[in-house]
Amino acid sequence: MRVGVFLTHQQPPGRDPVVALDEQLDLVRTARDHGLDSVFAGQHHLAESLAHIQPLPWLARVAAEAGEMTVGTGIHLLALHNPVDTAEAYAGLDVVARGRSVFGVGLGYRQVEYDAFGVPAGEKVRRFTENLRIVEALWSGEPVTVDLPWTRLDGVTATMRPAARPRPPIWMAANSDAAVRRAARLADTWMVNPHATAATVRRQLALFADEREAAGRPRVPEELPLMREVFCAPTRAEALERARPHLGAKYDVYADWGQDQVMPDRESFRMGFDDLARDRFVVGSPEDCVAALRPWRDELGVDHFVLRTDWAGMPVDHARESIALLAREVAPALREA
């Protein structure tokens, strides 16, 4: 059982980026010093409502502070980027992290990003699938030959390979049923998203297991990671007061970006905070957080929690206190047999 944090490093536009960087690094050190296991970062391009550092420079800097923690992407938008650059860059990150990295990938959902990189919507699944195959092949150290419209390789062998052997774990984010099945076939595991309700995830986990079995793989992966929006304070009232404005604003942005349009079961983010939070967010005292997270472990088999507890505009002191409480009082309860 592992427990980590997701530090998106998203900030209101115009905020001093150096001040924001120092605050985020303070949160990394808090997670490290309190014994958390991992730290993850995400990727968006042209995020008009928010500003953040791209994951490669951010995670390379994080690795210098992370100690023994794993660092990972959640997610790299693989279809948008050249697979050779991706393979070499993320191999380099794994070396910087001394073999303790996770390569998290996904399709993404924002049309503005696909337009910016000139990727037609109808090609994104093919590009994603082929790019993942090429990255894995380059990481193997074997000669790779590819002839595709966006990349051509003639028996090339990558000399920059990850420190991890045979390679870093590949986690795939997925929202829709089709994407969950794709994760079952192509990735080491499904990085369960923070947006869906427990009922939706329970249903999709059955699809995931069936698809793995159909592909000749064990029904249960070696690791099942879950992202959740979690905020912890000494009391539930204090946690709600601190989290509500920033977490609510985050999901207003998601709705503007169309994140809920790729969710299954016609889920929507355009509702009041209390309705949105129900069966999605974990906001409360340490006892509340343990009670809400344990069923994911005991009933659904989650064994790596990646908790996002910092959102754009939140005072860093509040995020720091939440991380410390999660590490001191929630993580040990989740690690119990």
- Reading the block at residue 40, the tokens are 């993850």
Exposed, middle or buried, 278 (CB in 10 Å: 0-12/13-18/19+)? exposed
Token match 């974990």: residue? 282
DSSP state of 77: E
Burial class (CB in 10 A: 0-12, 13-18, 19+), 110: middle
**Where do the domains of the chain lie?**
2-335
Q: Determine the pLDDT at residue 276.
A: 56
Query: For the residues 243-261, what does the mean pLDDT come to?
Result: 65
Model pTM score: 0.91
pLDDT, mean over the chain: 92
**89 CB contacts (<8 Å, ≥6 apart)?**
56
Q: Is the dihedral of CA 300, 228, 320, 245 positive or negative?
A: negative
Distance CA 276, CA 267 (A): 10
User: pLDDT tens across 89-105, in order?
Assistant: 999 999 999 999 999 99
- At residue 264 the predicted structure's pLDDT band, cuts being 50, 70 and 90, is low
Confidence class of residue 337 from pLDDT cuts 50, 70 and 90? confident
Phi-psi region of 99 (alpha: psi -120 to 50; beta: other; left: phi over 0): left
How many residues are there in the chain? Answer: 337
What pLDDT does 109 receive?
Answer: 85
pLDDT at 319: 97
Q: In the CATH scheme, what is the homologous superfamily, with its name and number, of domain 2-335?
A: Luciferase-like domain (3.20.20.30)
**Rounded-to-integer distance, Cα 215 and Cα 186, Å:** 9
The rounded percent of the chain whose pLDDT value lies above 90 is: 80
Please, which residues bridge with residue 123 across strands? none
Weakest mean pLDDT among 149-153, 212-216, 217-221, 253-257 = 253-257
Which tens digits make up the pLDDT trace of 41-73? 999 999 878 888 999 999 999 999 999 999 999
Beta bridge partners of 137: none
Instruction: Assess contact for 110 and 42: CB atoms under 8 A.
Output: no
Q: What mean pLDDT comes out for the span 206-235?
A: 97
In 3D, which of 183, 174, 249, 190 has the Cα closest to residue 224?
190
Please name which of 59, 97, 35, 95 lies closest in space to residue 335, comparing C-alpha atoms.
35
Q: Where are the alpha helices (DSSP H) in 4-149?
A: 17-33, 55-63, 83-96, 111-116, 124-140
Nearest residue to 312 (alpha-carbon basis) of 47, 33, 69: 47
